[in-house]
Structure 1
């Protein structure tokens, strides 16, 4: 018997424009921006905030021309080193949150105490966890700027229960893919070679590991494959998760 054709989602006219044919995919490569980061140990809120500020500056300089080429006005984000219980524009920060992007104020919130814990695994591990996570959250900022997240959020009420999970995975995998496009474009200045590159690959393939019951960020394999494609392409053109067959966003 012939194998079944890959199952791909369908969208209305607005979804076709915002998700499938978004101009971000044809906006060209993410540029290298000679990213220089402070070589600080992430052992205090002050050190974490310093590192996050510097890395966010690299992300904004790299993504601004891409977003502008997509025909959208670029707006800066903000980044905050917070702890469990901190008030944010999207509610109270919980320990389980680790880090998130808040569209209400274009803010990226990081649990700085968790980054201090990462230093126990080594300086490289802490830095690469921070870079990959920050690049992912900034990917959500890009999605917000170009209208992808607006359509995704508006469509949220059209489905219920487990049907939420596949579009969530497409949304999250795309944010990670955007992050890897930036990291690939800036491989040289970020010194993503040798042990640092292997640390990046490990972080970029994290995904929904067992015993996770809510499959909302994609499997390790799906994360690794989208990350690898974007890292090599250095472009959001490699990140159209919205037209991918369901098994590619498992």
Structure 2
């Protein structure tokens, strides 16, 4: 992936050396939405595809404590921090793409903040943990990532490559786009009106749409800046396959249970990323109207 020398975003907040926030944190502003965490059976306690804050609360046996949200000023990545520089460049590229897409539709894109943390940190959605994997919190409109996740993506999930890493960021930004469009709130509003299996099905459509939005970003970024090198799309498609619900359940040694899916199968995640990449059109990502995913 060609990214060196490109613009870096100023919307990057580095909490790696600051107060990570203790054990507090409430559930504000809706659920946190992420590319997922890792299945318990696969990585000894990590789970994938369910609201991360709910998982942490259930595993700890606790309820939801009072809200405490940590804020910190945005900081530019140090010049010698290549991985942080990389995610800052990717975030900037998503800003450029989605600003243009929203403007063409007569709207204004509000840029999210990318929070880089280590271990744990407070969010408007509750206490964020590295074990959750990258996630988006609609309550504060921030994407959260412990950069150590990329080692997990490469070494444990078998999805190496810079463009696979960029796909992770683009997927979370896709959730931000859904939040701005009011899609996330509508899905979250259905939680008390449907059973768990039905809500899981809605979650799958939400996640697949975020995959498609990641493809839309890649389409426009390539057209505008020629960021792709040989094997990059294959790298993203491989990452999408490795984090499919069916693949993770198999890797965890368990039975594949479609009713429990919350992110979609490997084939579905690949298909919707490819749809976004091939068309570059937001309307092509309407997973909620699609008869077949």
TM-score class, shorter-chain normalisation, is 0.7 to 0.9
- Deviation per CA, 1:158-185: give whole Å up to 9, x if none: 1122111110001000011001111122
Instruction: Please point out which of 111, 114, 118 is paired with 2:146.
Output: 111
- Structure with the bigger percentage of helix: 1
Cα RMSD for the two superposed structures = 2.5
Q: Contact 2:117–2:146 at 8 Å: present in 1 too? A: yes
Q: Contact 1:99–1:108 at 8 Å: present in 2 too? A: yes
- Deviation per CA, 1:85-120: give whole Å up to 9, x if none: 222222222233110011111100012112245566
**Structure 2 vs 1, CA of residues 119 and 215 (structure 1 numbering), >3 Å: closer, same or farther?**
closer
Instruction: Please point out which of 106, 129, 133 is paired with 1:98.
Output: 133
Greater relative CO, 1 or 2 (CA 8 Å, sep 6+): 1
Normalised TM-score (structure 1): 0.73
Q: How do residues 150-165 of structure 1 correspond to structure 2 at under 5 angstroms?
A: 150-165=185-200
**Structure 1: stretches of 5+ with no match in the other structure:** 1-34, 40-44
SS in 1 for 2:135: strand
Q: Contact 2:178–2:184 at 8 Å: present in 1 too? A: yes
Poorly superposed stretches of 4+, deviation over 4 Å: 116-121
Q: C-alpha separation between the residues in 2 aligned to 1:190 and 1:231?
A: 13
Q: C-alpha separation between the residues in 2 aligned to 1:47 and 1:215?
A: 35
Normalised TM-score (structure 2): 0.63
Q: C-alpha separation between the residues in 1 aligned to 2:287 and 2:278?
A: 16
In the other structure, the counterpart of 1:226 is: 272
Q: Tell whether 2:126 aligns with 1:80.
A: no
**Structure 2: stretches of 5+ with no match in the other structure:** 7-15, 17-80, 251-255
**Structure 2 vs 1, CA of residues 119 and 230 (structure 1 numbering), >3 Å: closer, same or farther?**
closer
**Structure 2 vs 1, CA of residues 217 and 190 (structure 1 numbering), >3 Å: closer, same or farther?**
farther
Q: How do residues 230-249 of structure 1 correspond to structure 2 at under 5 angstroms?
A: 230-245=276-291, 248-249=292-293
Q: Contact 1:38–1:51 at 8 Å: present in 2 too? A: no
SS in 2 for 1:218: coil
